[in-house]
Copies of this chain bind each other. A is one copy, B any other.
C-alpha cells in the first residue's frame, strides 16, 4: 500500500511577527493538498489554537480566493504565551510538557496526519520540540530579516527590501532639495541584510549594520568627503540592531521581549549625533511596521508558493522534522535541528559588502 496517496488531513499554523507572504504560503499548501484529495485545517492564533478550547477551522480552496496578494495571515499569530520558545535575551526555552501534551491530544482529536509550522526561529524551535515528542511536523522558514542560516532566502525579505528601497527613493529627493542627511532605520536585529541590500539598491551612501560596529568619525568623514565633491546631502540606512563600536550590541534588548519597543532608537541617535558633529540638518525616519505589511512582491509570491507546495510534498514523503529551504539549486529539505538557532550574518568579505565598498559606500568602520 502506498501511504503517500492515502487521504490526509493537515494542520497549518503561523507564528511570530507578521510577514508579507504568509497567506501565499497557506494558499499554496491548501491548494496543493486539495489536489491530492487531502483536507486542510487552519489553526488560529499560533500554536495556542491547539489548546483547549481549540481555535481551528477547515480551509477550502474557495477560502484561498485573493490570498496570493493579501499581506498578513488569515490564521493570526501569537507573539507571546505558553508557546514562546525564546526568552527576551534570545535564549531558547523548553515548552512546558503539559502544554505540549494538551496540544497533542487536541491534534489527535482533530485527526490530523501532519502539521505545517510556518514561522521564524521561535516557531520552528517549537516545531522541533514537537517533532522530538513524536509529532509529524514540517517547517516553512519565515524571517523578514533573512537571517536564517539554513536557507538562502526567506519569504517576505524581498518585499521588505523593496519597501525600504521605495523609502530611500522618497528620501533621496527630499535630502537633495534640503541639503540634508536623511537616516532610514530598518529592521535587522542581529543581521543587516535588509539595510545592506536596500542600501545597495537604493543608493545609500552609508550603511550601518549589526555585524560591523561603526564609529561616528568614519560616518562623518564620508559626509564631509561628499561635501567636498559638491554633494551636499547624504543618505544613511541603519539596521535597528546596529551600534557604535564599544557599545554592547545586545545590551539594548536585554530587558525587552518585544523588538518593537526598541524601534526608533538607533536611527534617531545616529541622526542626532551626525547633526551635532557636522552641523548639517539630519532627519530620521523609522520604517517600522511598514516593512511587514502589504502585498508581497512577485519574487516573494513565487517563493511562498514553492515553499507551500514543497511542504505538502515533504508530508507526502514523510519527511518530518524537516524544513523547506532554498538552496543554490532549488528547494530542498533540511533538518529543523540544523536550522534553528543558526543565524546567518552579513560576511565582511562577501561579495555584497565588497560591491558596496567598490562604489564608495561606507559601513562606518573605516
Contacts and interface: CB of A to CB of B under 8 A. Distances in A.
Nearest to A196: B302
Contacts of A329: 328
**Copies of this chain:** 4
A355 interface: yes
A32 to B, nearest CB: 5
A349 to B, nearest CB: 12
B182 A358 contact: no
Contacts of A167: 290
Interface string A293-314: 1100111011001100110110
Contacts of A163: 170
Interface majority SS (helix, strand, loop, mixed), chain A: helix
A283 B309 contact: no
A72 B289 contact: no
Contacts of A166: 294
Interface stretch (A131-139, A172-180, A243-251): A172-180
A68 B235 CA distance: 14
Interface in A33-51: 35
27 contacts: A14-B177, A18-B177, A20-B173, A31-B360, A35-B358, A66-B70, A68-B201, A68-B203, A69-B169, A71-B173, A71-B174, A72-B174, A76-B177, A158-B299, A170-B289, A170-B294, A172-B293, A173-B293, A174-B293, A200-B301, A283-B288, A284-B288, A285-B288, A285-B290, A297-B297, A305-B359, A313-B358
Interface of A: 14, 18, 20, 22, 28, 31-32, 35, 61-62, 66, 68-73, 76-77, 79, 158, 161-163, 165-167, 169-174, 176-179, 182, 197-198, 200-203, 229-230, 260, 264, 283-286, 288-290, 292-294, 297-299, 301-302, 305-306, 309-310, 312-313, 328-331, 351, 355, 358-360
